[in-house]
A = this chain, B = another copy of it.
Amino acid sequence: MKKQKVIDKIKDNPLYPLRHSTEHVMHMAVESLFPGAKKVMGPPIENGFYGDFDYEGKITEEDFPKIEERMRDIVEANLPILMRDAGFKELKEIFKDNPFKLEMIGEIEKDGGNPTVCEIGNKEGRYYDIDLCAGNHTGRTSSIGAFKLLSVAGAYWHGDEKNKMLTRIYATVFETQEELDEYLEMIEKAKERDHRNIAKEMELFFMDDEVGQGLPLWMPNGAFVRHKAMEFAFNTYLERGYLPVTTPHIASEALWSHSGHLDFYKDAMYNSFGIEDEQYRLKPMNCPMHIKIYNHRPRSYKELPFRTAEMGTVYRYEKSGVLQGLTRVRGFTQDDGHIMCTEEQLHDELMEAMDLTMFVLKTFGFDDFEVNLSVRDPENKEKYIGGDKDWDKAEEGLKLVLKNFGFEDYITDVGGAVFYGPKIDIKVSDAIGRKWQLSTIQVDFNLPSKFNMTYIDNSGDQKTPFMIHRALLGSLERFMGVYIEHTNGAFPVWMCPLQVQIIPIGDKHIEYAQKVSEKLKEKNIRVKIDDRSETMQAKIRDAQMQKIPYMFIIGDKEIENNGVSVRLRTEENLGLKPLDEVIEKIEKMYLTKSLNLW
C-alpha cells in the first residue's frame, strides 16, 4: 500500500510544538520588559508564529534585540513547560486584569469545555508564566531552537476594526541555527525577487486605484510575456486534441442557479446587476458555459473524449485586505479546459492531463513538484454537492492515476476538495525553494448530472459522461507572479519582448548595426538598436536592467570581422563571434524554447 499523509498544514507541521512554545516564551519576554503589556493570543502560522499584546506604549523593531535577549535568557533558564487542568474560578482570578483572556474563558465555559493551562517555570523563580492553552509543546524552554523576531504590526482584536487595536509581533523559529539562517536568507532573496518590485523596474504591470484594486493593467513588456505564455499553452492544448471555445464573461443568474454556484460559491461571486428583467453576474468559472457547448446537440461516444480549451477570464471576490500583487487578484485568466469522456476513457484522460501538465510546467523550467490530493471532509458532507458513490469513485480514480504516474509521496488534504468534487493540485518549487500551487486536475460527478449531460454509447444507450476540469498554469496572473519571481525577471529567450539589444559604440557603427538588425529580423528575432548618445557602459547597464538576453556590441573590430561581440544579461562576455553563428544559435534557443542563453 502507498504511504499517505493526512495533514493540517499548521497543526501537523513537525515544527508546531517548537513554534507554539517559542510563542509562550516571547509573551513572557514582552510582559517582563514592558510593564502593563498583556498577552492576548497568538497561534503558529505557516512559516512561524505571531503573538498579540495589549499595550498602551509602542513596541518597535528597535526593541527586537532586547526582546530576543530576554527570550534567550528564558531559554537558558531551561524551564519546564507543563500542562494541567484548571477550574473556571481559578482562571478568572488569574486573568482578572486581562479582559481578552476573560472573554476566552467565558466562551469555553459557555461551550461546556474543560480549560487547561500551560505553566512555564515556577512562581518563585525569576521567570514564571501561566496561560490559557490547549497544549502541544516542547518539554522545556531549552529545546525551542533558533528563533528570530521578524516584524511588528497593528491588529484588531478578532480582526474587527470596531475592537481595540493590539500590537502583533511576527516571528519564526527552527530546530537549528543553520535552518533559521537558511530561512532568513530565503526571505531576503524573496524580498529581492518580489514580483511587484521587478514588475516596477521592468514595466510589466501595475494596479490603479481608479480602475480598482486587484485588477492588474498589463503594460507592453508584461502583456507581451503573458501573451507568449498564453500562446504557448493554448497552441499546445490544440496540438494535443483540445477544441478551442470562447464564452462571455457574464451570464444570467439562471445559469449560476442551475449550476449550483449561487448555492455553493456565492461568497466568491460579485454582486448581480440587472439587464432588462434579468439579473446577471460576472463568471467566477467557465465550466457551465463549456457544458452548454457540449450540450448544444446530442453527442455520440465517437465524439468522446470531447476536450474544450479556453483562455477564460474569470472574476472572483477577494477581500481588499488580502489582495497581493499578482498572486491574489480579483480578475484572472485561466488556461481552462474540460474533458468529457466515457468511464473507460477516464483513466487515460487523467493520465494525459497529468502528462500535459508536466510537459507545460517543464517547458517553463519547473522540475520539482509537490502533489496534493484534496478529498472531501467526511465529517462535513453537507458542504459538498453529490452522492457518496460518486465521491468515492472520483477519489479512487485520482489515487490510481497518482500511483500509476509514480507520485508515491503525495499529500492527502482531507476537506480540501472543492464543493463539486475531489482534485489533484500540483505545486512547483521555484528558484529559491518556495512552493507555489499552479496546476489543478479535478474530477466532477456533479455538473454532468446537474446539466443532464449525456452521450449515446455504442449500443445506442444514453449515458452520462465523466467530466474533468483542468487548468495547468492555473491563473495566468498568479502564474506570471510566480514566474517573475522564479526567473527574477530574466525570462527565457522565447518569451522576451526584446531578445537582442544592438549597441553601436559610435555613430559610424550604426549603419552596420542596421544591417545586423535586418538579418535578425529575417529570422523573426526581436531586436532594437540603442542609438542614444550614451556611453557604451550606460547602454549595457540599461539593457542588463531590462534583462534583455543578448547584447551585441559593435565597433570597428566587429565590422572588420563581420561579427558581433556578444554579452549576455548574466554579465558574461562571450567576445567576438561570427554573425551567422550567433544568429543560428539564438534562433535555435528561441525555436526550441530553451531555458539556456548559450
CB distance from A332 to the nearest CB of B (A): 10
Question: Is A33 interfacial (CB-CB < 8 Å)?
Answer: no
Q: Are B274 and A271 interface neighbours, CB within 8 A?
A: yes
Contact pattern, A 213-251, Cβ under 8 Å of B = 1, otherwise 0: 001111110111011000000000000000111111111
Q: Which residues of B contact A244 (CB under 8 A)?
A: 218, 220, 223-224, 227
Say if the beta carbon of A258 comes within 8 Å of chain B: yes
The answer to whether B220 touches A245, judged by C-beta atoms less than 8 angstroms apart, is yes
Identical chains in the assembly = 2
Q: Which residues of B contact A289 (CB under 8 A)?
A: 211, 217
Residues of B within 8 A of A210 (CB): 251-252, 254-255, 258, 292
Q: Does any Cβ of B come within 8 Å of A62's Cβ?
A: no
A57 contacts the other chain (Cβ, under 8 Å)? no
Assuming the contacts A206-B296, A254-B209, asked whether A246 and B274 have C-beta atoms less than 8 A apart, the reply is: no
Do A271 and B273 have beta carbons less than 8 Å apart? yes
Please tell me if A272 contacts chain B, counting CB pairs below 8 Å.
yes
Taking CB atoms, residues of chain B closer than 8 Å to A331 are: 248-250
Closest Cβ neighbor of A222 among chain B residues: B246
A258–B211 Cα gap in the complex (Å)?
A: 11
Question: Which chain B positions have C-beta within 8 A of A297?
Answer: 203
Q: In this assembly, does A276 line the interface, its C-beta being within 8 Å of a C-beta of chain B? A: yes
Q: Which residues of B contact A19 (CB under 8 A)?
A: none
**Chain B residues with Cβ under 8 A from A203's Cβ?**
296-297
- For A151, list chain B residues within 8 Å (CB): none
- Contact between B275 and A273 (Cβ–Cβ < 8 Å)? no
A88 within 8 A of B: no
In Å, the complex CA distance between A397 and B203 comes to 33
| CA gap between A248 and B313 in the complex, in Å | 9
Say whether A212 contacts B280, CB under 8 Å: yes
Inside 8 A of A278's CB, which chain B residues have their CB? 212
Indicate the member of A248, A317, A331 with the most B CB atoms within 10 Å: A248
Interface residues of A in 253-303 (CB under 8 A from B): 254-255, 258, 270-276, 278, 280, 282, 289, 292-293, 296-297
Which B residues are in CB contact (< 8 Å) with A255?
210-212
Q: Which B residues are CB-close (under 8 A) to A249?
A: 249, 282, 313, 315, 331
Chain A contact residue count (CB 8 A cutoff):
55
CB-based contact A251/B212 at 8 Å: yes
- Residue contact A246 to B226, C-beta cutoff 8 Å: yes
Q: Is A208 an interface residue (CB 8 A)?
A: yes
> Hey, which chain B residues are within 8 Å of A280, CB to CB?
212, 270
* A569 interface residue (CB < 8 Å to B): no
- Interchain nearest-CB distance for A225 vs B (Å): 10
In the complex, chain B residues whose CB is within 8 Å of the CB of A243: 220, 223-224
Residues on B with C-beta less than 8 A from A514 are none
The residue on B at minimum CB distance from A234 is B227
Asked if A320 is an interface residue, CB under 8 A from chain B, the answer is: yes
Minimum CB–CB distance for A41 against chain B, Å: 27
Check if B251 sits within 8 Å of A320, measured CB to CB: no
**Residue from A212, A243, A255, A296 with most neighbouring chain B CB atoms (10 Å):** A212
- Given A220-B243, A275-B270, A320-B276, the answer on whether A248 and B293 have CB atoms closer than 8 Å is no
Whole-angstrom distance between the alpha carbons of A125 and B206 in the complex? Answer: 80
Chain B nearest CB, measured from A494 CB (Å)? 15
Contact of A330 among B206, B275, B330 (CB under 8 A): B275
- Shortest CB distance A359–B (Å): 18
* CB-defined contacts of A217 to chain B, threshold 8 Å: 245-248, 289, 292-293, 296
Interface contact B252-A292, CB-CB below 8 Å: no
A543 → B minimal CB distance (Å): 17
Given A212-B248, A220-B308, A223-B245, 9 other A-B contacts at CB below 8 A? A208-B292, A210-B258, A216-B248, A217-B246, A217-B248, A217-B292, A217-B296, A223-B310, A275-B330
Subset of 5 A-B contacts with CB under 8 Å: A203-B297, A212-B252, A212-B280, A219-B296, A249-B249
Q: Which residues of A contact B (CB under 8 A)?
A: 203, 206, 208-212, 215-220, 222-224, 226-227, 243-252, 254-255, 258, 270-276, 278, 280, 282, 289, 292-293, 296-297, 308, 310, 313, 315, 317, 319-320, 330-331
Which 9 pairs of residues, A with B, have the shortest CB-CB distance? A220-B243, A218-B246, A215-B248, A271-B273, A223-B244, A210-B255, A212-B252, A273-B273, A223-B246
